[in-house]
Structure 1
């Protein structure tokens, strides 16, 4: 234990403090001696306390114990079978002293604390933390450990790694740890030799013209000489396949290609070598935009129903491709290869939720156009309510009370058995809530969830409180087995009591009923009572035969899906179909509304429409043609970077016979589709990418020396998450942006040119992309990482450990650690208390001498020492009376001085004889009173004797007066 100061230079102020104490003691303070000693002592002590507080006085205890954090590299680059370090941890921890603390941190792309610092051993320890194994960031683990070190132990880090870091900087973090006094021991795990061939880079021009030849450069790296196969793909179409030989080290190949199809294309190179032990690095990617005629993707719900659209595209010299909705791409990069998309009477139930998200992102972020045409499977009839595609369209699926729709009684029968746990049940609940949101207050709804027995989540009721019903649906939890018949029978019995014009049941399950009962009578009763039932089978485990038969017998519809994301679209489609009034089948001639630049197309009038799907125009949409309701027939708007159009009638001629026969139909529809094309300009920009750890650096170079505006970059990853990057200029015409990447993938990039005078105004934009095919964790390394690890240990005062001697972790001298306790607060508190006492001593007239002597007297009494005798009480009273008389005489004037002197002299002689003077013997009349009586003669004292005694008496009286004032 000891004392130390944070700022010892303040102790030099002790010299002037000593001088102040001497000066204060010698100063002529008008106080008694004891009171003066107390006042000077208090003031000096207060200043001493303040001075030590300024110097940062601390007391400390010296401790000799360690706090050791093990940091374990758990990235994928660690050698196979290196889990033996877990046993090494436990063995090394057994060598610690009882007071030593140990903890464990796992590190990969991130760092997590597996076990906090504790006195417990590691006998029962096992790794459970989740880390990103695709990156190695040991510096973050070291930083985390340093921040968790206690103050009362000598800190030490044991780093277990192969040294193949690709994020962060070990040596830089080591320098920071050295400054903090944290030693780093290193246990190197050597990486074994591995046969590996990897694609390091794929490169081709970013912009090509149709029919232009190009060179595709591929760089391979190998640890051994071998012969294998190289394949190159454009999008998903194979361009070439050839046999190549590689030598150890870098190998380069150049392939010739021809840009055939216009659009944005992704090129992929793959390698296959016998003996290659790591396949994750066997692919590489590159992007290029091929300039040429525009291309449109037509998605048709009914095969062969797009003949009119294909004729329109051909007459307008627009390239097109027609596919079924099941053939839609599964990667967003593939959608950017088209200038626009047409959804021709396609149901939302035939697209996954992810595909709809990709279409919406392609429109919003990359300027791809979108046109939707009507039909019995489109808009609200297709289940698009609250889908990503509805967000992109200029119309919404709700009718918002425009027309009288028959009242609906709907009961949802939802399987909540254990097999529905997870996303299935969550999407089923989402589907039920969407259906409720589509319904109106006069509709009735009920929800029954079933496992082995039915449970009424929502009793059948009018939708007067939607929020309450939605919250009740959200409370469904999975449990139990599957019993279908009882749940359907209960739903039927409850629906009989509901007062509604149309009654419907939707049954959803992913399993098979535990009992086999006859549903014939039940479905017959439904039909007899004007009820219908639709069934949804989720996954291959569902009883498809039973569910399909139920829907057929009950005059409903059967749905089978292996994609659970389509469940909400199925439910909302069913709710809309039951309303039936979404299809308006009254012939009319459309009225022209806000056609904008399409006004010339309708200047000579428009043909008649026989039917359409009712929708509601969104607030900012431009409605070019309307129905008498009025409902939008043709509407458009700008959605993000793209443009979308809604045509609510069909294009097959069933509802629009006069339109498809109109001589201006081809020209009109061609202009409608072209209006949705991306508004790209020739962009004199070049994009380069460079990976630094897990940060991707984007370099943008402008070829236009006169451009002075700004740039904005947006990057969309494979999970459809979009990030807007800050683009900063680094040189004239050169810009840079950066983003952190947590996992490899394809990243689409949109770059916008901003107006210099108005940064919110976009002058143009273009889409490009980059690919991180695999993490640098899987690159073929070069050099020996052990040298770097040894440098780290030497820098921080650590050691290089070995697997053979785990006990050496806790061997060696332990630097003593001081456990500090700051006294500043206590010193300041004591100074404040003494300051209050100092004020009392100087301002209050109390017997400070006796108070100061009181502790000594109490001490002597405790020791049995007799206290001195108190002076005679009567003599003390006489002195007090005398003092009172002297003061009164002083104020009565100089003529009373002689009488006071005589009385003082008489009293003194009386005390000497040991006799008492009765109060009655004291003269009651002053010399002034005597003079006031008639005939009284006042005799004046002799000048010499009286003057000396008067002066002495006056001095005593003045001294008494001063003491009384103090």
Structure 2
């Protein structure tokens, strides 16, 4: 135990303060006696406490304790975690009983495996949930440093292979050195294995169409052998060659030709016998091929886009025609086109995922979109509440536009165990969308079935609202087997009771029926009741033959679905087709409503149209041509970064035969498509990216300095958008960072302050986790530098006792007394105020206390001594005399009369009261009368004594002798009363 001061020089203040207190004691302090002494003493102590507090008084105890935190690298490259656990357990055996240890694991982040303890569990297991795809030793060391303090001999033991790829362990080491925390290092290098990896893929950032170029690939290997290098452009193989691979770095260059315009992704893969790690065998790169614009035409049926293709060819617009089934499943593919055209394509042919990718390509990356109508498009194609409807300038909702035949619809949904998961959720979403499409006069029923049917919603009109129906649909859960016939028969029986102009059943299942009911009789009932049925087979396990035959005989449609995301589109399409209100099949001449810059295309008149699909223009859309209804025939608008056009008639010649034959047809269609092209001007920005561990760093250079607000939008294969606000660090220079957890390819676009693209979209690649890279063997140098920097040691795996071998350095555990001293000073300050301000009769208080003690010591039942009361009256008299300024005297002398009475009483052995009682009422024994006061002098009324009464002075203050006589009389009266 010891004492120390943070600011000992402040103790010099005690000398002048001591002189000040001595001076105050010897001077006139306005107090006297004991009060003065107490006041000076209390103030002296207060000043002493304040000086001690200001000087930083601290006591301390000396400790001999070690605190060790083990930091274990648990990244993917550290395959031998059991050895680390064993080393910790063996080294902990060498610690003293009072030593403390803790364990921390680190990957991309850090977590505490074992909090500080003096007894390590016998079966230590490192099992914290970490992202092991990265090594961040800095995070583990900083977390460990926060768990240690300067009160003990603190130390960190780092167990790692040293292959860090996020953060900097040397930066953490410098901070730990400032805290006097050394870092001991135990290097545990991973066992070397046969491995070959693709380290880099390089292509030029920009190419022109028909330009030749080289794809450079860096391959690293730990062994020698022959391998095969394959190259892909947008998942299409463009090259394959055999290569000789040697240990170390190998560079290869493959020649290519830029054939297609747009943004392209390249992938290089290496295959080699004996390779033990396949996660690092591929690398990616992006490039943009400049050239004429390119359009993607999606045909609902093969060959139905011939008129559209001819019009684009005459306008020198390049295009590519594909079937909906081969639409890309990667967002980067859509960025290769300037515009996408759907020509009479139904939603079930596309699927929800592809729709979402197209919507994102239009909204974020400025790709154009146009939909040409037909019997399988718009509402008839099942696009109600889909991502495609969101981007179009028209809506599929026709509420209040025209009289629609009443519809009775029953949805028969398989809820067996095989429908669990996404299938069941999509089926419920499909049913909800269908209900939302129906009108208040329509009737809807929902029947779920497994081995038995269950009416989720009995057939009922929607006049009372749709909320209850939708909530009941959401309650469907999957369970049980599959039996179709009881469900179909129950649906038909209920539908026969429904009163509607059109009656339709949609049956969906993904399994085989357990029973074989009499479907022929059921079909006859449906035909008699004018009921139609469409069927949906989900997956190859469905009873395809049964479902197809039911749809054919019940005059419905059969759908086979291998992508469950298209189920909602099928249900919506069926509901729209049954209403038949979407198709307006009558000739008319379109009217020009708001042509804008397209007015010149139609100023000489337009041909007649024979039909179209009815839609409703959205708020903010520009309706160019309308029908007499009025419904939009041609509409356009800006959607996000892109532009979209809706042509609600067809381009195949069924409804637009006069338009196809119109001489201006090719020019009009070409202008409609060109209007949707991305509106990029010459970009003043140069965008570059760098990958640093798990972070992507963006650097944007502007040709001219400005104050534009820039934002980078990054989209991965999961369609999740990440927005990064770029910070202007210097005129014309912007930077930003984004943490990424998954490797792969990403699309990026740069948005200006207006929210529109400021530069063409580009791609960036986040390579496979650096944990899978082949080590260069220089990790031990960094670990050695860390140990030397912090004053630590390089430990050996074979000598775990080294951790606690050295004696613990003594350390002080400090105890701060500042608050205690301040609290004591405040208490004494209150006492000082009490001594100086409160004039209490301390002597009287002491006398009263002594009297109480004497009374308690008297015998039980004894009467109070006669002199006790007289003593108290005498003491009161003395205090009164002192209060009025008289000089202090001894006990007052009895008055002459009192003395005479006491003398007579003493002679006769009786008290004065007894003697007075025997006197005659009148006689010679009366005392002589007092002389009369002078004329004009004030007279005093004599006190009247008697039982229970005391004399009261009525005259002004008298001289001391008169006051003494008055007190004597009072004492005599008190004594008589006590008798």
Q: Same fold (TM over 0.5)?
A: yes
Other-structure match for 1:941: none
CA distance in 2, matches of 1:862, 1:41: 36
Among candidates 868, 875, 880, match of residue 871 of structure 2: 875
- Normalised by the length of structure 1, the TM-score is 0.82
Other-structure match for 1:656: 656
CA distance in 1, matches of 2:930, 2:107: 107
CA distance in 1, matches of 2:180, 2:114: 23
CA distance in 2, matches of 1:925, 1:413: 137
What's the offset of the Cα at 1:549?
Answer: 4.3
What's the offset of the Cα at 1:903?
Answer: 13
Q: Does the aligned pair in 2 maintain the 1:34–1:848 contact within 8 Å?
A: no
The 3 A distance-change label for structure 1 pair 274 and 588 is same
Among candidates 746, 759, 762, match of residue 765 of structure 1: 759
Q: Does the aligned pair in 2 maintain the 1:35–1:849 contact within 8 Å?
A: no
Residues 459-468 or 132-141, more deviating: 459-468
What's the offset of the Cα at 1:877?
Answer: 1.9
The 3 A distance-change label for structure 1 pair 120 and 314 is farther
CA distance in 1, matches of 2:434, 2:213: 53
1:558 equivalenced with 2:552 (yes/no): no
**In terms of Rg, which structure is larger?**
2
Other-structure match for 2:106: 107
Other-structure match for 1:368: 367
Q: Does the aligned pair in 2 maintain the 1:62–1:817 contact within 8 Å?
A: yes
1:777 equivalenced with 2:771 (yes/no): yes
Q: Kindly provide the CA deviation profile for residues 99-145 of structure 1, in whole angstroms up to 9, marking residues without a partner as x.
A: 76665544322334455556775455545544333221122233334
Aligned length: 917
Other-structure match for 1:427: 426
CA distance in 2, matches of 1:277, 1:16: 83
The 3 A distance-change label for structure 1 pair 199 and 553 is same
Other-structure match for 1:680: 680
What secondary structure, in the 3-state scheme, does the structure 2 residue paired with 1:671 have?
helix
Q: Does the aligned pair in 2 maintain the 1:363–1:643 contact within 8 Å?
A: yes
Q: Kindly provide the CA deviation profile for residues 684-706 of structure 1, in whole angstroms up to 9, marking residues without a partner as x.
A: 6544333222222334445x568
What's the offset of the Cα at 1:406?
Answer: 3.6
CA distance in 1, matches of 2:692, 2:698: 11
Residues 500-509 or 628-637, more deviating: 500-509
Other-structure match for 1:931: 937
The 3 A distance-change label for structure 1 pair 233 and 901 is closer
What's the offset of the Cα at 1:914?
Answer: 13
Q: How does 1:393-404 map to 2 (within 5 A)?
A: 393-404=392-403
Q: Does the aligned pair in 1 maintain the 2:684–2:704 contact within 8 Å?
A: no
Residues 642-651 or 58-67, more deviating: 58-67
CA distance in 1, matches of 2:271, 2:742: 24
What's the offset of the Cα at 1:307?
Answer: 0.8
Q: Does the aligned pair in 2 maintain the 1:71–1:157 contact within 8 Å?
A: yes
Q: How does 1:566-581 map to 2 (within 5 A)?
A: 566-581=566-581
Q: Kindly provide the CA deviation profile for residues 636-664 of structure 1, in whole angstroms up to 9, marking residues without a partner as x.
A: 11112211111111111222222222222
Residues 371-380 or 489-498, more deviating: 489-498
The 3 A distance-change label for structure 1 pair 910 and 605 is farther
Q: Could you list the runs of 5+ residues in structure 2 that have no partner in the other structure?
A: 858-864, 904-910, 917-926, 941-958, 964-979
Other-structure match for 2:140: 141
Q: How does 1:604-683 map to 2 (within 5 A)?
A: 604-683=604-683
The 3 A distance-change label for structure 1 pair 367 and 89 is same
CA distance in 1, matches of 2:144, 2:640: 45
CA distance in 2, matches of 1:16, 1:652: 109
CA distance in 1, matches of 2:851, 2:455: 89
Q: Kindly provide the CA deviation profile for residues 727-765 of structure 1, in whole angstroms up to 9, marking residues without a partner as x.
A: 45566665544332322211222235x5xxxx5386952
Q: Kindly provide the CA deviation profile for residues 457-488 of structure 1, in whole angstroms up to 9, marking residues without a partner as x.
A: 55555544544544444444444555555555
Q: Does the aligned pair in 2 maintain the 1:206–1:287 contact within 8 Å?
A: yes
What secondary structure, in the 3-state scheme, does the structure 1 residue paired with 2:678 have?
coil
CA distance in 2, matches of 1:291, 1:192: 48
Other-structure match for 1:266: 265
The 3 A distance-change label for structure 1 pair 254 and 840 is same
CA distance in 1, matches of 2:52, 2:850: 30
CA distance in 1, matches of 2:754, 2:175: 43
CA distance in 1, matches of 2:65, 2:495: 75
What's the offset of the Cα at 1:871?
Answer: 10
The 3 A distance-change label for structure 1 pair 155 and 517 is farther
CA distance in 1, matches of 2:932, 2:430: 116
Q: Kindly provide the CA deviation profile for residues 422-464 of structure 1, in whole angstroms up to 9, marking residues without a partner as x.
A: 3333333333333333334444444455556555555555544
Q: Does the aligned pair in 2 maintain the 1:547–1:558 contact within 8 Å?
A: yes
Aligned-residue RMSD, C-alpha: 4.6
Other-structure match for 2:237: 238
Other-structure match for 2:742: 743
What secondary structure, in the 3-state scheme, does the structure 2 residue paired with 1:931 have?
coil
CA distance in 1, matches of 2:153, 2:486: 69
What's the offset of the Cα at 1:676?
Answer: 0.7
What secondary structure, in the 3-state scheme, does the structure 1 residue paired with 2:937 have?
helix
Q: Does the aligned pair in 2 maintain the 1:94–1:121 contact within 8 Å?
A: no
Other-structure match for 2:594: 594
CA distance in 1, matches of 2:770, 2:833: 74
What secondary structure, in the 3-state scheme, does the structure 1 residue paired with 2:329 have?
coil
Q: How does 1:146-225 map to 2 (within 5 A)?
A: 146-147=145-146, 156-225=155-224
What's the offset of the Cα at 1:803?
Answer: 3.8
CA distance in 2, matches of 1:860, 1:368: 110
1:789 equivalenced with 2:783 (yes/no): yes
CA distance in 1, matches of 2:371, 2:245: 51
What's the offset of the Cα at 1:327?
Answer: 0.7
CA distance in 2, matches of 1:914, 1:801: 112
What secondary structure, in the 3-state scheme, does the structure 2 residue paired with 1:679 have?
coil
The 3 A distance-change label for structure 1 pair 765 and 305 is same
What's the offset of the Cα at 1:634?
Answer: 0.9
1:347 equivalenced with 2:353 (yes/no): no
Q: How does 1:11-410 map to 2 (within 5 A)?
A: 22=22, 25-26=25-26, 28-31=28-31, 33-36=33-36, 39=39, 69-79=69-79, 83-89=82-88, 104-114=103-113, 116-117=115-116, 121-123=120-122, 126-147=125-146, 156-410=155-409
The 3 A distance-change label for structure 1 pair 901 and 376 is closer
Other-structure match for 1:960: none
Q: Does the aligned pair in 1 maintain the 2:878–2:888 contact within 8 Å?
A: no
The 3 A distance-change label for structure 1 pair 794 and 547 is farther
What's the offset of the Cα at 1:569?
Answer: 2.3
Q: Kindly provide the CA deviation profile for residues 9-29 of structure 1, in whole angstroms up to 9, marking residues without a partner as x.
A: 766665666566556655645
CA distance in 1, matches of 2:8, 2:853: 39
Q: Kindly provide the CA deviation profile for residues 233-291 of structure 1, in whole angstroms up to 9, marking residues without a partner as x.
A: 33334333333334444443444433332222223333333444433333333322222
CA distance in 2, matches of 1:926, 1:154: 103
Q: Could you list the runs of 5+ residues in structure 1 that have no partner in the other structure?
A: 864-868, 891-896, 935-948, 954-966
What's the offset of the Cα at 1:599?
Answer: 0.6
The 3 A distance-change label for structure 1 pair 856 and 131 is farther
The 3 A distance-change label for structure 1 pair 816 and 415 is farther
What secondary structure, in the 3-state scheme, does the structure 2 residue paired with 1:876 have?
helix
CA distance in 2, matches of 1:428, 1:767: 36
CA distance in 1, matches of 2:685, 2:193: 41
Q: Kindly provide the CA deviation profile for residues 810-869 of structure 1, in whole angstroms up to 9, marking residues without a partner as x.
A: 555456777777776666666656655554554444345677999999999999xxxxx9
